[in-house]
Amino acid sequence: MNAVPASHTIAEQPALSSALAKFLERKPRLLVNGEWVEAHGKGRIPVIDPATERRIAEIADADAQDVDRAVRAARAAFESGPWAGMLPDEREQLMWRLADLMERHAGELAELESLDNGKPIAMARLIDVPGAISHLRYMSGWASKLDGSTFNTSLRAAPGTKFHTYTVREPVGVVAQIIPWNFPLLMATLKLAPVLATGCTSVLKPAEQTSLSALRLGELIVEAGFPPGVVNILTGLGESTGAALVAHPDVDKIAFTGSTEVGKLINIAATATLKRVSLELGGKSPVIVLPDVDPRAVAAGAAQAVFFNSGQICVAGSRLFVQRRIFDQVVAGVSEVSRSIVMGPGLDEHTQMGPLVSQEQRDRVLSYLQSGRKQGATIVAGGDAPGHKGYYVNPTVIVDVKPDMKIVREEIFGPVLVAQRFDELEEVAAWANDTPYGLAASIWSNDLRAVQRLVPKIKAGTVWVNCHSMIDAGMPFGGYKQSGFGREQGRAGVEMYTELKAVCMAI
Ligand code: ADP
Ligand code: MG
């Protein structure tokens, strides 16, 4: 089969709404101690619309002095003042107020997200904004529901002495939160939600490629009435702002979502003062298709699993394993879907797949395609860029791959699928696990026995069956192996923002 280029022409980015145009005129500022302040750092970072490659705004590159100021504000808010004395239901109400404000501005937030990241506005409206609001509301309930235990101990002391022992959960303290560019608003909100529920404070650093929606969220946080210093937002580069934040001795915990490479650096930096660390890192998630399924229906699911958000999602189903009997049909189906996807600028209502976030990311993905070709793989769909302004890459399906190829081993973070055949269940579990990552996997089958035998064999934090990328505030999310540690969301997620104190009282 030859590579077939996408046949669609790419539309031009529609005009911005006046609300958005006005927001873009905003000066580069940082949110510190409840106020929008000028950065001490003199560096400025251009904000680029990935669909047009045009500069649309600029943000500050916060330096170590800015970081110190923000951490001090977060410390002060944590230790004393209105936040430290607030009751759980008062924090819960503030979170609801913020969620309501986000809902009121949902259209504007979706537009901003789409412009800054490149994602289709329909997706931002359907997933990013409501998802962010849902995380906030879900976590707000935990403010009043965290609890401890009492214990029947066998402690011995002077005759007649009894003991009352129990545990309490206390907020961990000042949290540095560093997030990536693929779901900017959703990431910011889901990181902040457990901070607010538990009574911690945060210094949040959005990704330098996509900081605008976090800044807008900061405005809504101020409007909602959170006390100063509870949430501080610093824009800046990873190597300046990010590195200063993880090195700061007065940060108690770091919550990071991003590349495995940077996650490892952060874990090392955190060791100096033994900060608590939770890491949500990369993935190379397998999609396993057993022979009992309808190949056409599953092809649509497999295409969605890898192409959603232009493949820029840590759980992307980027390795497809199909049982030999239906391999050709499923691969043909995925390729057909890939050619039918309407690629275009985020703000166009018809767009189904937007550009990648940046030129760097586009070049990275194209170089993987080059490497796949060089190592002898066959591209059956896509495989190139459409040759239009904007950081577009055609959705790509690759076969004839070998386990040691770079495109099979490394996370590409773009719309690229590698497909492999298998014969036996035993074999596919081993192949699926043959990766340093362990974030997620999906199994497609209605054969209950086969599915239940496969699930325990898969080394991944989430296993989906007959679906993929289903993420919910109530479900714990995180990785095995080099996909990170700690869990976000659910009870496990909120508990990551607490210390467990045991109290033993002789009575
Ligand atoms: P990508 O390479 O795909 O942009 P990264 O893991 O580099 O992914 O970025 C995720 C987040 O981590 C971003 O907010 C980025 O600024 C930040 N970051 C990058 N390098 C560092 C670092 N050395 N220390 C702290 N944060 C960093
Ligand atoms: Mg990086």
Residue from 111, 113, 208, 280 carrying the catalytic annotation: 280
Q: For the segment 312-343, what is each residue's pLDDT rounded down to a tens digit?
A: 999 999 999 999 999 999 999 999 999 999 99
Q: For the segment 363-388, what is each residue's pLDDT rounded down to a tens digit?
A: 999 999 999 999 999 999 999 999 99
Q: For the segment 440-456, what is each residue's pLDDT rounded down to a tens digit?
A: 999 999 999 999 999 99
User: Which residues are 201's β-sheet partners?
Assistant: 174
User: Which residues are 444's β-sheet partners?
Assistant: 289
What SS3 class is residue 149?
coil
Query: Any catalytic annotation for residue 208?
Result: no
- Which residue has its alpha carbon closest to ligand 1 atom 11? 180
- Which residue has its alpha carbon closest to ligand 1 atom 13? 207
DSSP string, 393-426: ---EEEES--TTSHHHHS---SSEEEEEEE--HH
Give the residue-averaged pLDDT of 489-506: 98
Query: Any catalytic annotation for residue 314?
Result: yes
Distance 56 CA to ligand 2 centre (A): 22
Which pLDDT score is estimated for 144? Answer: 98
Quick one: pLDDT band at residue 6, thresholds 50, 70, 90? very low
Give the CA count within 13 Å in the CB-facing half-sphere of 349: 1
Q: For the segment 75-117, what is each residue's pLDDT rounded down to a tens digit?
A: 999 999 999 999 999 999 999 999 999 999 999 999 999 999 9
Q: Is the CB of 205 under 6 A from ligand 1?
A: yes
Give the residue-averaged pLDDT of 114-141: 98
What SS3 class is residue 36?
strand
- Please tell me the distance from the alpha carbon of residue 390 to that of residue 412, in angstroms, as a whole number: 19
Distance 204 CA to ligand 2 centre (A): 17
The minimum-distance atom of ligand 1 relative to the CA of 206 is 14
Distance 412 CA to ligand 2 centre (A): 13
End-to-end Cα, the chain, rounded Å: 80
Spatial contact of 233 and 204, defined as CB atoms under 8 Å apart? yes
Distance 238 CA to ligand 2 centre (A): 8
Q: What angle do CA 249, 255, 260 make, to 5 degrees?
A: 105
Can you give the pTM of this predicted structure? Answer: 0.97
What type of residue is 175? V
Give the residue-averaged pLDDT of 260-271: 98
The minimum-distance atom of ligand 1 relative to the CA of 246 is 25
- Please tell me the distance from the alpha carbon of residue 451 to that of residue 425, in angstroms, as a whole number: 10
pLDDT reading at 137 higher than 80:
yes
- Please tell me the distance from the alpha carbon of residue 38 to that of residue 59, in angstroms, as a whole number: 11
Quick one: pLDDT band at residue 240, thresholds 50, 70, 90? very high
The residue to mutate among 63, 67, 178, having the most atoms of ligand 1 within 8 angstroms of its beta carbon, is: 178
User: What's the Rg (C-alpha) of the chain?
Assistant: 24
Q: For the segment 15-54, what is each residue's pLDDT rounded down to a tens digit?
A: 999 999 999 998 999 999 999 999 999 999 999 999 999 9
The C-alpha torsion from 214 through 216 and 217 to 219, rounded to 10°, is 130
- Please tell me the distance from the alpha carbon of residue 205 to that of residue 230, in angstroms, as a whole number: 14
